[in-house]
Amino acid sequence: MASATSSTVDSPRGGDGVHLPDTARDLVKILVTGPFGVGKTTLIGSVSEIRPLHTEEQLSEASAQVDDLAGVRDKSTTTVAIDFGRISLPGGIVLYLFGTPGQERFRSLWDDIAHGALGALVLVDARRIDASFDVLGLVEESGLPYAVAFNTFPDAPPHHTPEQLRAALDLEPTTPMVTCDAREANSSIDALLALVQHLIDRPAEYR
C-alpha cells in the first residue's frame, strides 16, 4: 500500500458517491469494532462516500436484559448484523469498512465478518473501558493488527493520561492509540489513517 497522508481535505466523499474513483489502487477491508454503544455506526456514517448500510433494530425490553446500557442510556437502537461503508483515501487507498456488533451474543458472526480483513479499528469509550476487553480479546485472537481510537463523549473523564489509558487496555507499545470524534468526518478519517499507517509500517512478512 502507498503511504497514508493527512485527511484534512475539502471533501472526503470524492467522486459520484457510488463508483470507485479512477485513482483507486489498493482495496482494503477494515473492521470497525468495539463494545455496544461506542459509536461504530456513527463513525462509518460520518466518513462513507457511499450511502452506508446499517442493520439496526430498536432496543427491546428483552434486549435490555442482556445489553448493558450503563453509560449509554440514551441509545435506542443496536446493530444486529453489520454496518458497511466505503472511503477513498489519498494515495489510491480505498477502505471498505465493516462495522461489527458489539455484544457478546453476536460473537458467532465474528469469523465471517473478519474473514479477509487486513486490520481493525477498535473504538473505546473512556467512561466504560472495561467494556472493551472482550472485543480486544477477539481482535487479538484473530491475529488482526489494530489501532485503538478513544471516541470522545461530553461526559468522558478528562483526567486520564495517554499512558494511563494505554496501561488500562494493556496495549503493546507499537499499537497506535488516538482520540477521535466519531461524528466528525476528518477526525474519524485521522483515526482510520492511524490504522492504515500501522499496516503500512509492519514488516513485510506480517502483511
Helices (H), 38-132: 40-47, 61-64, 110-114
Q: Is residue 205 predicted with pLDDT exceeding 60?
A: no
Determine which of 50-54, 75-79, 143-147, 163-167 has the lowest per-residue pLDDT on average: 75-79
> Tens digits of per-residue pLDDT, 150-162?
999 877 767 788 9
Backbone torsion region of residue 17, taken as left when φ is above 0, otherwise alpha when ψ lies between -120 and 50, otherwise beta? left
pLDDT in tens, 43-93: 999 999 999 886 655 444 544 444 454 544 454 454 446 899 999 998 899
**Residues 71, 99: Cα–Cα separation, whole Å:** 21
**Whole-model pTM over 0.95:** no
- Phi and psi at 33, nearest 5°, equal -130, 175
Given this model, what pLDDT does residue 203 score? Answer: 77
